[in-house]
């Protein structure tokens, strides 16, 4: 049981680190002038972000049901729910950048001289930065939850 719990924990953390890295990469790349090439790069980074988000969810659900503490432990922890709410908010915010990146790539495919208006790129960067700042709360909530604080 301990090895299984450790393996699930490792997967959960590995996907979380990939997710954080992808978000940081998006924030960095959005400081560049966004043309078709950069838009395609952003969409590829966003794909890593999406895959890692699914990985975090799947590994987290696996920990919930097959981890050492069990679902009843987590369900009674307010910081578990704070963590879930924060992740849900991050997911909702991430819809706008993903849709923008897809639109930018489509427009770049139709117009070789395509370039994103700087204000639009700044707006998407601001959203990505909000996601990153919210993501910084998740390890705090996880640490408090793991120690049974607040429950």
pLDDT at 1: 75
pLDDT in tens, 1-56: 789 999 999 999 999 999 999 999 999 999 999 999 999 999 999 999 999 999 99
- With a pLDDT cut of 90, the percent of the chain lying above it is 95
Report the range of poorest mean pLDDT among 37-51, 59-73, 79-93, 111-125: 59-73
Query: What dotted CATH number matches 2-146?
Result: 1.20.120
DSSP state of 111: -
DSSP H helices, the chain, are 2-29, 36-66, 71-75, 78-110, 118-135, 137-146
Paired strand residues for 115: 35
Distance CA 140, CA 127 (A): 21
Domain ranges for the chain: 2-146
Distance CA 141, CA 139 (A): 5
Mean pLDDT for the stretch of residues 63-68: 92
């Amino acid at each position: 049981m301990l090895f299984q719990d450790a393996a699930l924990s490792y997967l959960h953390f590995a996907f979380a680190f990939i997710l954080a890295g992808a978000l940081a990469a998006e924030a960095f790349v959005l400081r560049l002038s966004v043309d078709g090439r950069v838009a395609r790069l952003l969409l590829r980074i966003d794909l890593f972000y999406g895959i890692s988000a699914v990985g975090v969810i799947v590994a987290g659900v696996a920990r919930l049901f097959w981890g050492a503490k069990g679902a009843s432990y987590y369900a009674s922890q307010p910081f578990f729910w704070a963590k879930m709410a924060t992740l849900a908010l991050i997911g909702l915010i991430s819809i706008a950048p993903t849709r923008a990146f897809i639109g930018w790539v489509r427009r770049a495919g139709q117009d070789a001289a395509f370039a994103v208006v700087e204000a639009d790129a700044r707006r998407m960067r601001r959203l990505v930065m909000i996601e990153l700042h919210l993501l910084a709360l998740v390890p705090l909530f996880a640490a408090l939850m793991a120690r049974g604080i607040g429950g």
